[in-house]
Amino acid sequence: MGLINFIINILDPFGVIRANFFKPLREFTFSMYDHYRNKTKDKVVTVRDLILRFGIVSFAVAIIIWSAVFMYVAFYYLYIPTIAHTRPVHMQFKTCLNAAGICSFPQAHVSLTKKQQLLMVGQAYKILVNIDMPESPQNQDLGMFMVCADMRDNKALLRGHSCRSAMLRYRSPLLRAISTWVLSPLLIFGFYEELQHIPVELFSNYEEEQMHPVTDVYVEIQSQKIQFYSVTLHITADFTGLRYIMFHWPVLSAALGISTNLFFILIVFILSWYHWSDTTWLKEAREKYTKKLLEETKSKMDISLSSFDDDILEDDDEYSLMAEKSKTDIEDINSESRTDLGVATA
């Protein structure tokens, strides 16, 4: 604990992060724990409920952990490319008709891929040609020679060209004699051979292009006197930054990555659980929806009642007009009858 406190004091000497972030987070966590503990104590009555809740919690924890692990593994395999690709280089040359030997430079065509892109875009690669050369007098007298390579895409377009010099490592006659005497039992029984591995780095920082992926490599050794056992092409990813850490420290990076995923998944899960377990917002939404529905229904009823009142008023107006007309007709008839009666009396 003393070391942890010392590291925390170095990272946060004034306590700003602890006061503004860790302390509120700790208080929120403890309050949530107390809230759900009390809530669980109030609701858990029987053993069946307890077992059911334990099963649900265990299932949720398993899903969260496996989700964090799956996210890290998927990210690892998508972010980290294959570290090395090795292809054999089968050298070909023209032999001399009049004398034994090589009459052309040894060269070879190496097919990297045919269907899919082999190298990752944006990742730097080192491309080497390894030559296994015997320590023969001819190779010792050869001196320096050139090794060239052409990188071409699926349309045979040149994407990179490089030539590098190489030579057999020098060893004095005394050193060769001593090593031969010391290693003679291994040499006799075939456990050791007098050869040297000569690595020739052709590209130290080669990056693949998205639109022109490399599919073929043409290798040439510019020497007619060279002797070799085998030649191989090695393409190695040169990791930097996060890829370097994830590849060279897989346990540490996995622990940090899974812990980070677990932290964010738990935050999302806790917030979602708190949101859905608190049903107050559901009641408020239901009441709001019911109130809105009642208001719409009331407005529709008011509109229908107003139209109905207008119809009644129009009917009342027609009825009053008819009543006045009928009253006028009755008065006319009464006046005529009085006139006729006066004439008859006279």
Count Cα neighbours of 221 within 13 Å in the Cβ-side half-sphere.
32
Predicted local confidence at residue 136, as pLDDT: 87
What is the percentage of the chain residues whose pLDDT exceeds 90?
21
What average pLDDT does the segment 261-268 reach?
Answer: 87
Residue with tokens 């377990």, as numbered in its chain: 277
Per the prediction, the chain carries an average pLDDT of 79
Predicted local confidence at residue 132, as pLDDT: 93
Predicted local confidence at residue 72, as pLDDT: 92
Predicted local confidence at residue 276, as pLDDT: 67
Find the largest Cα–Cα distance for the chain. 181
Alpha helices in the chain (DSSP H): 2-11, 16-17, 23-43, 47-79, 137-142, 173-182, 184-189, 242-248, 250-277, 280-345
Contact residues for 96 (Cβ-Cβ < 8 A; gap 6+): 102, 103
Rounded Cα gap, residues 19 and 21, in angstroms: 6
What average pLDDT does the segment 109-118 reach?
Answer: 83
Q: Give the gyration radius of the chain's Cα atoms.
A: 47
The DSSP call for residue 21 is: I
Domain ranges of the chain: 19-80+247-277, 84-238
In tens, the pLDDT along 298-342 reads 777 766 656 555 554 455 555 455 555 555 655 554 555 454 434
Predicted local confidence at residue 109, as pLDDT: 92
pLDDT of 344 above 50: no
pLDDT band (50, 70, 90) for residue 46: low
The DSSP call for residue 279 is: T
Lowest pLDDT segment from 59-68, 186-195, 270-279: 270-279
In tens, the pLDDT along 193-235 reads 888 999 999 998 898 888 888 989 999 999 888 889 999 999 9
Query: 10 Å Cβ neighbour count for 85?
Result: 17
Q: Alpha carbon of 108 to those of 113, 128, 217: distances in Å?
A: 16, 15, 8
Q: Which residue has the higher pLDDT, 216 or 35?
A: 216
Contact residues for 162 (Cβ-Cβ < 8 A; gap 6+): 127, 148, 149, 202, 203
pLDDT of 69 above 80: yes
Contact residues for 294 (Cβ-Cβ < 8 A; gap 6+): none
Of 22-36, 191-205, 279-293, give the range with the top mean pLDDT: 191-205
What average pLDDT does the segment 129-147 reach?
Answer: 90
Predicted local confidence at residue 341, as pLDDT: 37
Name the fold adopted by 84-238: Jelly Rolls (2.60.120)
What is the percentage of the chain residues whose pLDDT exceeds 70?
70
